[in-house]
Structure 1
């Protein structure tokens, strides 16, 4: 490589955010020899803390700044942190979809550290009083439009994710994407007012599943003549994804970018990414990362020692399930009840205890809800042994409660306009489309029932009141 661009995350106002990672990588590349040579490093300075700035604005400005680099070979490599990853992916998508408007520059390696592809649970809080106070103390605005984008289930983040899921495989065109994220919060940075900063299944800011582009789009569609929901699934092109054990989102001790000195694990993993120069090598690294993640998932107990107390954390793999409820005319259904079911009787009462960690409805799209699910408990898990004492079991073996399904209970199935109860077929086990450390976008489309009483003709010429119409039969 020659030119390496760094792109920071939300609410950054100083290039010190990159720490000494740029220099550490330049030094490490020099040791590796000519194939990994870094000639030029550029640190991004972009604004997220102006309430008027949108993601599209940042992408346009990013493209303009890239043109100004006057790249000799028309290529560059990029390392992003947090929201920076969403900026880079948005630029790639815009460059592909609107080539006349964006620079014909090729991004070869995009290494995304703790990227917020599917947002952050903290974004909803960042828009509130705490976020505004923090921004006020820093002398900036919260960055309302970017926080809107970053909230789980935002229309903008889902549109970008669906563009990736249904889009081409960038690796076949010589652009290689890598998602790297620490596997746990930094306990020293835990905020007792906000439990999300210590949430298992996240790096303290971004949930592991939200940083992974290996996502699925599942559509459950109700047939007019039936209560059954039929399932179709689309899987995103494969992206290299790796958990960096012991690292967190930020912090000078364990931060994936801000640690001082930089973590050798971060540096060496980035160098492995930069060494990829062919689709075959990319596939091999994807396989290697998957095997390393599996080993990490088997060694998932963290022992936290603080003063005279000791706590254990079981870092189970989690899944994000973002569901959207609408009918076949595109009408959102925020009042409908979305129920997960389990077992041969498809009962909500048979779901495993503790399977759901969190639930967030999107503030601007209340019919879009994000569930944070413990994948290990859904899939079934063996006994978890205390690493300090092989004879002590921290959690007994957990059986799977599969098959899992979905049932939708409309609020009012009667009246002129309505919907009927719908559920998945027994053959469609939801567990099959929920990946460990992955996100599934689930669109549930109900058939909209319109009664003939909405519009009638009458032959009775005597004035009559139809304030209380008779619904009658459903329209075909």
Structure 2
């Protein structure tokens, strides 16, 4: 017998959001030997649409609600959708950091459906006029504090994910995490005012790279100065491996194509495969099996969208990468007005970057120095010819070679003054492509050296009055 807790996403106001998924899991689980009974399935009803509620509030309330289940030593499993994924992960982190405050309950399996682990590009829209209008129409608030968490590059989401990247492997502690996410938007839900709802590389709400926990943290720090230009060298940490599976043809939500309703066959099969894992070896094997499934999906990447009486609209589902950049100096001061140029080839040239590689750029509203870039990984890595599925000899896109190595150059806003920064470039031996993975997110911290000149503080033996309102800058302090 397994206790199974379902946790929904942001702005949900009715448990009908789970559809028939719980009942179908109950019916089909017998084939996997899990023997789930309806009394063992719990549906969450948490409030995310109140502007006063924070993620920390939800974590506390979730912990309190679990007490009602009277769970034994066997623990429980959890299936989440969208914001529910990071919510439960925040609970796990809080429980680890404050063991005397939160209950020592054993969560064996965390199966996340379309989780907004690194946030959603739509979160900014939710806080805008359209989101507020929709919330007003439905008689609810937009859930401002939860949307702040969900913004790409928010301090809260990055803290959670960096803790995961640098933390221990959950699978080694008999806790197994899984990410299942749709691979395309539901075109019938496309909002012509907001193109994010039809963004290729997402399920219409959450990017595949944002869902995936197989992430990296790269840090560029000062390695030397040559001819007045600072060199930044890269150090990279990769997260513990997490099982990740793309659900073909599924979108974020909706009765027809939503991941909790989409044919349900593939989603349910994958969930049951996840719940059947009993040890670390079995978890590793499932990770490998999911990787093979994803590789097959990525080879069949052409979608033909019906457009009334006209020619079908072509969508090429290239694997995408998400790069979240934070630019500070070595004292932690943010450098919001600096420019970061991506460059290709040798010698490095920004004009040699592949055409169409940059798909989106979004700055976090509360932290302007945090920029999220959405990149076409296939164009950066090189792509084979894409044939037209309707006529194999016809080419939709010709083969493209990679333009690597890729580097970056930072151009600070203040190059002179008592306190300033100088132009900096990544080290010639570091290729940015090496830290970008298909369907993955990389957090890139660029840490610039801070230059302080001698004129900031001087001592004099001359006791006569002296005006130093216009100090001579002098040399940089070494």
Alignment check: 8 A CA contact 1:74 1:105 kept: no
Q: 2:431 aligns with which of 429, 432, 439?
A: 429
Show the counterpart of 1:210. 210
Q: Deviations over 1:321-378 (max 9, x none)?
A: 0010000001000011111111011111110000000000111110100000000000
Q: How does 1:441-456 map to 2 (within 5 A)?
A: 441-456=443-458
User: Deviation of residue 475 (structure 1)?
Assistant: 1.4
Shift of 1:74: 4.5
Cα deviation, 1:133-191, whole Å, max 9, x if unaligned, reads 11101111111111000000000000000010011111111111000000000000000
Aligned residue in 2 for 1:159: 159
SS of equivalent to 1:191: coil
Per-residue Cα deviation, 1:15-66 (whole angstroms, up to 9, x for no partner): 1111111001000113433566665110000011111111111011111111
CA distance in 1, matches of 2:296, 2:450: 47
Gaps (5+ residues) in structure 2? none
Q: Show the counterpart of 2:373.
A: 371
Is the 8 Å Cα contact of residues 4 and 38 (structure 1) preserved in structure 2? no
Q: CA contact under 8 A between 2:250 and 2:259: conserved in structure 1? A: yes
- Matched with 2:5 is 5
Say whether the 8 Å CA contact 1:321–1:371 is kept in structure 2: yes
* Larger deviation, residues 340-349 vs 36-45: 36-45
Distance 1:141 1:37 in 2: 36
User: Distance in 2 between the 1:289 and 1:38 partners?
Assistant: 29
Is structure 2 residue 131 aligned with structure 1 residue 139? Answer: no
Distance 1:39 1:282, change over 3 A: farther
Q: Structure 1 residues 411 and 267 mapped into 2: Cα distance closer, same or farther (>3 Å)? A: same
Partner residue, 2:309: 308
**Correspondence 1:273 to 2:274:** yes
Q: Which residue of 2 is the match for residue 192 of structure 1?
A: 192
Q: Does 1:115 align with 2:118?
A: no
Match of 1:103 in 2: 103
Query: Could you list the runs of 5+ residues in structure 1 that have no partner in the other structure?
Result: none
Specify the alignment match of 1:201 in structure 2: 201
2:351 is matched with which residue?
349
Aligned counterparts of 1:131 and 1:459: Cα–Cα separation in 2: 65
Contact 2:48 2:143 in 1 (8 A): yes
The farther-off stretch of 217-226 and 64-73 is 217-226
Structure 1 length normalisation: TM-score? Answer: 0.97
Across the aligned residues of Structure 1 and Structure 2, the Cα RMSD in angstroms comes to 1.3
Write the deviation string for residues 286-337 of structure 1: whole angstroms up to 9, x where unpaired.
0010111111111000011132121110000000000100000010000111
- 3-state SS in 1 of match to 2:24: helix
Q: Describe the shift of the 1:34–1:400 C-alpha distance in structure 2 as closer, same or farther (beyond 3 A).
A: closer
Deviates more, 1:376-385 or 1:30-39: 30-39
Q: CA deviation at 1:458?
A: 2.9
CA–CA separation in structure 2 for the residues paired with 1:131 and 1:461: 65
Conserved? CA contact 2:110–2:177, under 8 Å:
yes
SS in 2 for 1:71: coil
Q: How does 1:291-330 map to 2 (within 5 A)?
A: 291-309=292-310, 310-330=312-332
Please say if residues 2 and 35 of structure 2, whose CA atoms lie closer than 8 Å, have aligned partners that are also in contact.
no
- Contact 1:10 1:48 (8 Å CA) reproduced: yes
CA 1:35–1:279 in structure 2 vs 1: closer, same or farther (change >3 Å)?
A: farther
What's the counterpart of residue 150 of structure 2? 150
Please state if 1:240 is matched with 2:246: no
Mapped partners of 1:420, 1:36: distance in 2: 62
Partner of 1:170: 170
Q: Could you report, residue by residue, the CA deviation over 1:368-407 in whole angstroms, capped at 9, with x for unpaired residues?
A: 0000000000000000011111011100001100001111
Q: Tell me if structure 2 keeps the 8 A contact 1:300–1:315.
A: yes
Structure 1 position 462, deviation (Å): 3.9
Question: Larger deviation: 417-426 or 70-79?
Answer: 70-79
**Does residue 255 in structure 1 map to residue 246 in structure 2?**
no
Q: Which residue of 2 aligns with 1:282?
A: 283
Q: What secondary structure is seen at the aligned counterpart in 2 of 1:163? A: helix
Asked if structure 2 preserves the Cα contact closer than 8 Å seen for 1:182 and 1:256, the reply is yes
Q: TM-score, normalised by structure 2?
A: 0.97
